[in-house]
Structure 1
Amino acid sequence: MTVDKKNALRAGALAAGTTLMMLLMSSPALALARDDGDDPGKGLSVIETLSLYVLTPLALFAIIAGLVLALDKSKDREPKTKAAAKAKV
């Protein structure tokens, strides 16, 4: 193996080990114990969860992308690649 592969494997092992340790150290059982002043509301339905965490970000992305494309002031819309430049000549 080359040095790059060894470094990549070492970095991957370190990241995986760190993630595993963080998962093992965070105890989900502690989430069941209520703290003083804790007043959780009612849970979200599946539709509410999907709309909040999936549909809303996708809609915002589409709106922002549409505004960027609609308000683009550049005149040259062709890709600036070497192949496109050769085709013009």
Structure 2
Amino acid sequence: MVTKNALRAGTLTAGTTLTLLMSSPAFALTRDAGDDPGPGLSVGETLGLFVGLPLLAFLVIAGLVMALDKSTDRVKPEA
């Protein structure tokens, strides 16, 4: 007798396999009509775009949160 967990695992495996097969990178080899990809990015541009900008955005948001925080519960109690 097949249990529910075995059916669940089989369904998940089949779905994952089907998804991976359907999203194959081989579909990227065919150009669409009017496709104009343009020049590629250098290593520095890629790192700046995908590492530097998110890090900068995080630091700006964290700085704004700390600068605009008006709470007073950070006062150390006298011992």
When the two structures are superposed, what TM-score results if normalisation uses the length of structure 2?
0.70
1:64 equivalent to 2:45? Answer no
1:39 equivalent to 2:39? Answer no
**Identity of aligned pairs, percent?**
63
Once residues 77 and 17 of structure 1 are traced to their aligned partners in structure 2, the CA distance between those partners, rounded to angstroms, is 53
RMSD over equivalenced CA pairs, Å: 3.0
Larger helix proportion of the pair: 1
**RCO comparison, higher one (Cα < 8 Å, 6+):** 1
Task: Provide structure 1 residue ranges, at least 5 long, that are not aligned to the other structure.
Answer: 1-6, 79-86
Once residues 77 and 28 of structure 1 are traced to their aligned partners in structure 2, the CA distance between those partners, rounded to angstroms, is 53
Once residues 57 and 77 of structure 1 are traced to their aligned partners in structure 2, the CA distance between those partners, rounded to angstroms, is 29
Opposite residue 41 of structure 1, the aligned amino acid is G
Once residues 42 and 67 of structure 1 are traced to their aligned partners in structure 2, the CA distance between those partners, rounded to angstroms, is 36
- Pair 18,70 (structure 1): closer, same or farther in 2 beyond 3 Å: farther
Task: Provide structure 2 residue ranges, at least 5 long, that are not aligned to the other structure.
Answer: none
Aligned counterpart, 2:49: 52
* CA deviations over 1:7-57 (Å, ceiling 9, x no partner): 7xx68x93x664443222212112111111111111111111111011100
Opposite residue 64 of structure 2, the aligned amino acid is L
Once residues 61 and 34 of structure 1 are traced to their aligned partners in structure 2, the CA distance between those partners, rounded to angstroms, is 36
